[in-house]
Structure 1
Amino acid sequence: MKNRNLFPLERNRYYHGKMLTARDFETEQNYYNNKRRLINRCVLGAGVICGLGVYRNDDTSLSIETGLALDYDGREIAVTSPIIRKLQMIEGFETLVGHEQAYLCLEYDELLREPMNNIGAADSESQQFNKIEESFRLYLDPNQPDINTLFGEGGRNNVQTLYQGQGVSIYEVVPAIALAGQEFTAEYVVLKGAGLPPLSFTYTYESDTIRKEEGGTIQILFNEDKNSDQEIYRVGYTLKAAALADMQVPFGKGKGIFSLGMGDLRDQLELPLKHEIYLAGSPAKYEQMVEVHLSNLEKQLSGGDTPIYLARLDYISAGSTHILRKVNPLPFGQRITGIGGGQERKVSGNPSWQELLQNVTTNVEILKYWQKPEVKVRYSAPKKALNFHFGVPSSEAYDYATSSGIVEIPLSGAIRVNARFTSEEVPHNLGLGHVSLNFAVEFGSDESKKLLFGNGEVFKMKEVPKVEVAGILYPENGTFRIGIRCLDHVEGHLLKIRWFAYKVTRDTAELRAKDVVSIKITPDIHKMKVLERMHFEAAVGGTADKGVTWSVKDADGGKMDQSGLYQAPSIPGTFEIVAASTADPEIKTSAFVIVEE
């Protein structure tokens, strides 16, 4: 649900006679969704749970694995099919001009499905949608992220930008609380662009409350290995807090001196020392500060607008074309590795779960609507792999045949209170079998006709006829009869009864097989050599016309004949093959070929 407001946690209270509207059913959904997402966010955190690896196919395209993630609102983001995309096919491609780096971002999204006619609504609201598909949004963003959300852990860490420019970003991450007289770790995060020379920096400052070695001067040194091909570093340095119990103290005094060297570049900055750190006098006080004062609900739920940064992309721009140089997956380490982000404790002599489990995969099977949901878990000890298989029933849907008409029932006699009158058998024109019927009494002037459904005594208005209507269905004849009872004197010599009939004609499987044109190409992803040939097949469903028109989307992407025979071009790359239905040319699907030398 796109509504991010989890509170108040309200659920329906049911009682006999309660009228249920769309609002009540939405409240029911919201309650259970919000409770689940609240637990997801506060207990598990945010990040990638499994899969979602990003790989560079060639100079202009990416592959993304299936996987599952939780966003900063506790919503599940499931990518259930592998994705191959050229950069220009990804939302935000136009923002890459003028930059050399961008982030591939993943967000939760919702799509409206199954358009339907809302018979009882005004013209402006006559079209509604029957389903909401929980989906995702994939886009490119060249802007720098909110580092406080990514590294701040809801206020448990203080974060400061030490340097930004020349394709380099350096951040300092220090805890907001430390145990007095004990060691703690300060982390320095280095992000640099692809192809830049080896980098080194020193950061020096004075402190009366923090020590690295003997003396009051702290110097942080970083020298990148010349043979390393990394662009992202997270380096920890051990510092020691002064023995000052239960007080908030400044991290340093005055200003720090930051010096950067990279190739011919030399830069030096004076930086204000903004951090403060609370020194707890005992382990109990430390736990109290961390678990209570720094873990309130507002901080736990912070960061709702932050996406999952699947990868950082380094590229070279040549006009409107961008050539990928390198892909760095999960540059900010947004991965859920333990409950609440806590450290896993290893018992001596026993292997940790990381040693026993190195790969987790999931697959989802869509079942018939009448089948029961199923979950199967299989562990392979030799492969150290865990597989979850989920069977999810499809939703039950129906198609209806409808009919309506008017029956005139004569009224006789002078005293009509409690009198009963019936019609002859009336055909409903929906064939034999069971149908549903509704009846309404027509009343009012010719200029202002009205319909009464139910018992007329409910309304104390004089113009409303005080009658009650019922019906008998004859399934074997395809007919019905209408009976009325006068609860009071009724004026006139006849009553007009408007009837409505509807009958279920088709279920979900039949609807999907006959009403929705679909195309599936086999294979959907294929690797091949330059000038190699490959035959593709297209299976068309939902129409008697099984023909397709083949084409290659890229001008230099090879040749394709109408039998499905494809010949790769003489140059490597990722190319898109398109099959369009001849019954409905708007229905298309794609396959991708990765051509290698």
Structure 2
Amino acid sequence: MKNLRYFPHERNVYFKGKLLTVRDFESEQRYFNDKRRLTNRLLHGGGVVCGLQVIAVDEKQISVEAGVALDYLGREIVLPEPVKLKLSMMEGFSNNDYAKNVYVCLAYDEKGKEQVFSVSETVEQEMAEYNRVAEGYRLFIKEEAPHPASIEGVQLVEQRVLLFADPQVRIWQSTPRYVNPGEVFTLQLHIEKTVQTSRVQFQYKLDAPRLTVLESSDGSVSFLEPVDAKETDYVISIPIKAGWDRGTVELAVLGGKAEVRLGDRLLHTDLVSVGKIEITPDDLVERLVSDYYSRKLDKVTHANEQPFLYLAKVCLLQMNATYVIEKVVPVPFGEYVYTPALLQKLALRAQKGKPVEQGSYTDSFRVTTRVKEIAAGDKPQFDVSYDNLASVYQLELGLPRPGKANEQVATGVVEIPIEPYSSNWPFGVKIGNRYFSEELKHSLGKGSVYVSAGIEDFHADVIDELLSQHEQVMYGHSSVFDDSEYATDAANFAVGVIVYPQKGTFRIGVQVKGPVQIDRARIRWWAIKPQAAGTEDVAHQDSQE
């Protein structure tokens, strides 16, 4: 029975001489099914109970292990034995594009069994009916991820907002619904991308008067994917401190736009608000529990139009005219059923390592740590400072530098914007234009320092990313490689350096010598300073400007 309603609850009354019809027997089954499913729905929720692991059998096939789950209508789904399936043959899989992520989904299903002829009052009304209903399952593919806020239960404790989405990249953020005054909480950025998507960058500036982004002076919330990273999922935690005035704070976006960069492609997406947070002196756990039990019955028992589960995310890699399974992420949206026995054991385990609570929410603070190198002959150092405005303890540990050397070395990377920029060459960057960095510190102190700079060759070509061919830095006269098999886009730049010995700084300049299709020049620099007589330490540091 595909009955999606829980009410009303009516059961049969039996007495001698009662005529039992089809309606009575169906009512008998419906009564017990609805009771059981309502209990499952309200006390357990939906998700995987056990098993149902999805594994890659080979480059094109997956296997779903036997297991049990509850859907969001309280119906039991049982896979009695493992199932092996070819992705491209599954329902919902489209063959028009293989560079994507797909989701293996599980839904409740039932089918008629044992077809027989029914007995009717007239011959004309005789027809075939099923004598049994077999409860089963349906495995299929969804090529779009669900909205982050649509996963059941998450909106009770946090607010999820979708910031950007296209077929290759999805960015969303989560924030708590409630925080205490003065509390330092975490805003989390979630970045989901396909395997062959170019390097992702994202940024917007938070405009919330009663909130302070602790690690940014201008309120920026940003993500920069590491150059050589090959991950498809990132979670970035950004600490924010709440003000002392209670009330609801809207998380507005300065300028109403966010900046998204996919490789060399720059996009702007409209983003006016990214949610709300209530600053309250109430006990947060009690507030969340109160919200949970204050839910309206019609919302709790609302029949989901698509009550299926996401068992796995399968990341695909396009190879010529076909696909290859790159990796499988199990239960990507955390859809599990947590039994009371499991929750009890987890609670007991957490209590064993729980520190003694002292003070109240007004005592909340953060701790940051930093390790620095000191001279080889010095004793280790340990310093503690406190930032009262940000409620941050800063711990600094100084360790002697190992080994001997006759020079100090520092290195770093700086990106110099190339403006104006247009993708319609030749109306983009004019040949001969010069661009300069800000004054940079090399951290080697005042005095004579030799600085060498080279331009890194990088671009958004998918094949080069897969083969790591973009890892090249060009120093010296790049014209040596013109018209050779080693020529790159970096050869169209000339690089120069000015050193300011009395200030301990330097400046880098670049000049466009040929056609370029990038909006920034990425420069790797090295600073070398001869060691003074009688010293033995050597500094090695890497900085990103």
User: TM-score, normalized by length of structure 1?
Assistant: 0.52
**Would you say 1:45 and 2:42 are equivalent positions?**
no
Q: Write out aligned runs for 1:436-515 (5 A).
A: none
Could you tell me how far apart the structure 1 residues matched to 2:343 and 2:178 are? 16
Q: Write out aligned runs for 1:146-165 (5 A).
A: 146-150=147-151, 153=154, 156-165=157-166
Could you tell me how far apart the structure 2 residues matched to 1:58 and 1:331 are? 21
Shift of 1:228: 5.0
String of CA shifts for 1:213-232, please: whole Å, max 9, x gaps. 39995333434455654312
Could you tell me how far apart the structure 2 residues matched to 1:256 and 1:41 are? 40
**Would you say 1:346 and 2:345 are equivalent positions?**
no
| Greater C-alpha Rg | 1
Matched residue, 1:498: none
Shift of 1:4: 1.1
- Residues 274 and 226 (structure 1 numbering): CA distance in 2 closer, same or farther, change over 3 Å? closer
Shift of 1:257: 4.9
- Residues 255 and 75 (structure 1 numbering): CA distance in 2 closer, same or farther, change over 3 Å? farther
Q: RMSD of aligned C-alpha atoms?
A: 3.5
Letter paired with 1:97: N
SS in 1 for 2:234: strand
Q: Write out aligned runs for 1:317-328 (5 A).
A: 321-328=322-329
Letter paired with 1:290: D
- Residues 48 and 169 (structure 1 numbering): CA distance in 2 closer, same or farther, change over 3 Å? same
Could you tell me how far apart the structure 2 residues matched to 1:81 and 1:276 are? 46
Matched residue, 2:107: 107
String of CA shifts for 1:262-306, please: whole Å, max 9, x gaps. 44344343411152233333117624643344x333443454514
String of CA shifts for 1:144-200, please: whole Å, max 9, x gaps. 423321276355433221111261101112233334443444333221101334534
> Is the contact made by 2:214 and 2:239 (CA closer than 8 Å) also made in structure 1?
no
Letter paired with 2:132: K
SS in 1 for 2:312: strand
- Residues 113 and 72 (structure 1 numbering): CA distance in 2 closer, same or farther, change over 3 Å? same
SS in 1 for 2:348: coil
Shift of 1:348: 6.6
> Is the contact made by 2:156 and 2:292 (CA closer than 8 Å) also made in structure 1?
no
**Would you say 1:83 and 2:83 are equivalent positions?**
yes
Matched residue, 2:336: 335
> Is the contact made by 1:207 and 1:217 (CA closer than 8 Å) also made in structure 2?
no
SS in 1 for 2:3: coil
- Residues 214 and 186 (structure 1 numbering): CA distance in 2 closer, same or farther, change over 3 Å? closer
Where does structure 2 lack aligned partners over 5 or more consecutive residues?
Answer: 355-545
Q: Write out aligned runs for 1:115-194 (5 A).
A: 115-120=115-120, 123-124=124-125, 126-150=127-151, 153=154, 156-165=157-166, 167-194=168-195
Letter paired with 1:100: A
String of CA shifts for 1:14-60, please: whole Å, max 9, x gaps. 34443322222222222222222222222222221222111222232
Could you tell me how far apart the structure 1 residues matched to 2:47 and 2:155 are? 14
Shift of 1:202: 3.0
Q: Write out aligned runs for 1:384-463 (5 A).
A: none
Matched residue, 2:282: 282
SS in 2 for 1:252: strand
- Residues 328 and 195 (structure 1 numbering): CA distance in 2 closer, same or farther, change over 3 Å? farther
Could you tell me how far apart the structure 2 residues matched to 1:345 and 1:118 are? 56
String of CA shifts for 1:323-359, please: whole Å, max 9, x gaps. 434333322222234559979423578599xxxxxxx
Letter paired with 1:140: I
> Is the contact made by 1:96 and 1:142 (CA closer than 8 Å) also made in structure 2?
no
Shift of 1:256: 5.4
Q: Write out aligned runs for 1:207-286 (5 A).
A: 207-213=208-214, 218-225=219-226, 228-245=229-246, 247-252=247-252, 254-255=254-255, 257-283=257-283, 286=287
Could you tell me how far apart the structure 2 residues matched to 1:350 and 1:134 are? 44
Could you tell me how far apart the structure 2 residues matched to 1:312 and 1:300 are? 27
Letter paired with 2:54: V
Matched residue, 2:66: 66
Shift of 1:76: 1.3
Could you tell me how far apart the structure 1 residues matched to 2:155 and 2:24 are? 34
More deviation, 23-32/257-266? 257-266
- The aligned length equals 349
Could you tell me how far apart the structure 2 residues matched to 1:29 and 1:217 are? 63
Letter paired with 1:132: V
Where does structure 1 lack aligned partners over 5 or more consecutive residues?
Answer: 353-597
More deviation, 14-23/250-259? 250-259
Letter paired with 1:104: V
Could you tell me how far apart the structure 1 residues matched to 2:207 and 2:56 are? 45
Matched residue, 1:296: 296
Identical columns (%): 29
Could you tell me how far apart the structure 2 residues matched to 1:248 and 1:121 are? 68
- Residues 194 and 215 (structure 1 numbering): CA distance in 2 closer, same or farther, change over 3 Å? closer
Q: Relative contact order (C-alpha < 8 Å, sep 6+): which is higher? A: 2
Could you tell me how far apart the structure 2 residues matched to 1:20 and 1:154 are? 47
Matched residue, 1:13: 13
- Residues 33 and 280 (structure 1 numbering): CA distance in 2 closer, same or farther, change over 3 Å? farther
Letter paired with 2:330: P
Could you tell me how far apart the structure 1 residues matched to 2:244 and 2:299 are? 29
Letter paired with 2:175: V
Matched residue, 1:97: 96
> Is the contact made by 2:75 and 2:108 (CA closer than 8 Å) also made in structure 1?
yes
- Residues 158 and 301 (structure 1 numbering): CA distance in 2 closer, same or farther, change over 3 Å? farther
> Is the contact made by 1:253 and 1:273 (CA closer than 8 Å) also made in structure 2?
yes
Could you tell me how far apart the structure 2 residues matched to 1:180 and 1:299 are? 31
> Is the contact made by 2:99 and 2:196 (CA closer than 8 Å) also made in structure 1?
no
